[in-house]
Amino acid sequence: MMESLRSAADFLRELGQPEVAVVLGSGLGDVLPLEDERVVRFTDVPGFPRPTAPGHKGEIAVGRIDGREVLVQRGRLHYYEGYSPEEIVFPVRAYALLGVKALVLTNASGGIAEGLAPGDLVLIRDHINMLGFNPLRGPNPEELGPRFPDMTEAYDPELREVAWEVARELGISLREGVYLATMGPSYETPSEIKAFRALGADLVGMSTVPEVIAARHAGVRVLAISCVTNLAAGIAKHPLSHEEVLGIGRKKAAELGELIRHLIPRLPV
């Protein structure tokens, strides 16, 4: 595994030496154009798995925002697509080896907490892992990180403070919440959503948590922003559809892109 991760990192190094990486999730692939952009497809990168979910582009761009070099991953890998946990975190680990110090993750989620509405942007403060796996299972490559990494402040408080400041300056309204990850691909039942709410979840989705665990394992700082695309099952009065999730994502995507564009140059890495 270390060998293919090193090959991927070496390949990406040809594109630049970014210290910040951004992962753009469902329906968000277009929101962050870069200056001087160099683009490769996932399939060009040695060892990278191939994406299959609709709404995902499957490309990596390296370029600049306001003078800061940044890597943007457009599209991501989900467990429900059939990838192994190790494949899902392969990109994040490759970025860590490349020298990335801060990772900005985005996703689409269902809103569970009182008062959330489709289109809301929510800074993830913590997570609950209900995926049924941990991507660090198996032999621990010590070059990557410790066997038992701490997750107390997985979502970096200092990076969240920067996001709050930038959102205030841009007049973008933001909330904070706890993200619960499920395996999917079926949406939740109303009873599951009730249970998740009782557990302390504000948002539900099918991604992000594996990448966060792998990033923290490798000592990469994490900021994660969720776009609520729908009210979760049973809170919504109608059945959920993937089209709804992608549709609202597009409408709110510009604002999320704006927020990320402005906070990237200010991240302390």
Find the shortest distance in angstroms from Cβ 238 to ligand HPA: 12
| Distance of alpha carbon 162 from alpha carbon 210, whole angstroms | 24
**Residue recorded with tokens 């395996």:** 183
Total number of residues that touch ligand HPA (CB under 6 A): 13
Find the shortest distance in angstroms from Cβ 236 to ligand HPA: 8
Catalytic residue among 59, 81, 192, 211: 81
Binding mask 130-149 for ligand HPA (x = CB under 6 A): --------------------
Residues 166-225 that bind ligand HPA (CB under 6 A): 187-188, 204-206
Contact pick of 12, 28, 166, 245 for ligand HPA (by CB under 6 A): 245
Please report whether residue 229 would count as binding ligand HPA according to CB under 6 A: yes
DSSP 232: P
Q: Near ligand HPA by CB under 6 A, which window of 13-21, 56-64, 103-111, 169-177?
A: 103-111
Q: Residue 265: which region, alpha, beta or left (left: phi > 0; alpha: psi -120 to 50)?
A: alpha
| Distance of alpha carbon 17 from alpha carbon 4, whole angstroms | 19
- Decide if 230 contacts 248 (C-beta within 8 A): yes
E strand spans, the chain: 20-24, 35-41, 59-65, 68-74, 102-111, 121-130, 174-182, 203-205, 221-231
Measured in degrees and rounded to the nearest 5, phi and psi for residue 95 equal -65, -40
Measured from the CB atom, the residue of 11 and 179 that comes closer to ligand HPA is 179
Measured from the CB atom, the residue of 103 and 245 that comes closer to ligand HPA is 245
What residues line the site for ligand HPA (CB under 6 A)? 108-110, 187-188, 204-206, 229-230, 232, 240, 245
